[in-house]
Amino acid sequence: MKIEWLGHSSFKLTESTGVSVVTDPYDQDKVGIKFPKVSADVVTISHNHFDHNCLSALENYNVVVDTVGVNEIDGVEISGFRSYHDEKKGALRGKNIVYRIRMDGVETCHLGDIGEELSPMLAELIGSINILLIPVGGRFTINAEQAKEYVDLLMPDVVIPMHYMMEGYNTEFDELDEFLDLFPKKSIEYVEENEIQFDRTDFDGEKTRILVLKKID
């Protein structure tokens, strides 16, 4: 499978069969960074804020998944779990959906705009995962320290940070380095592209790799 970072919390996941899923497309005019030209078979929406639900940003799509529950679409299994955008059970910023997406036997978890600490119940629902797509920029989501706790508890093979401060943003977030500084330098890898390929054999369960993808318009 292939993962492409489209910016902010948006990724395109593509299975070897060609089936694709785009997570949380954003309104580039309001966010401040360009959203690439992209199409998808499936779009997942974690919550209805303009920086996560802009379906009009896509050139084409077939199915929208924006509720909790299990969906199997063209051989791709997508499970959505209820969570919160803040630490007060949604009283401040509402609810959020965490998605686990299974492609080519690889389990990827997209946390959306998670704003609460990881509860035992949510950890059990997420289960064993290979790849964790996690917000680290604080302000409106979990911050670097809280994100580190998610990583420590979920123990994914690969972590790809998202939702952190970038040039052009109209909103202030914390810097990526605040998250990276919490990990040994040897576990951090900088990818000079916005995409990376994975296979089930890439995961040995022995260590966690932090991959920083490059946002390319």
Query: What CATH number is associated with residue 98?
Result: 3.60.15.10
Residue 154's domain spans which residues? 2-212
> Does residue 155 fall inside a structural domain?
yes
Q: What is the mean pLDDT of the chain?
A: 90
Tokens 């952190």 sit at which residue? 164
pLDDT single digits (tens) 154-194: 999 999 999 888 887 888 888 999 999 999 999 999 999 99
CA distance 83 to 76: 22
CA distance 43 to 126: 19
> Does residue 67 fall inside a structural domain?
yes
> Does residue 217 fall inside a structural domain?
no
Name the domain count of the chain.
Answer: 1
pTM: 0.93
CA distance 18 to 181: 36
- pLDDT for 40 equals 96
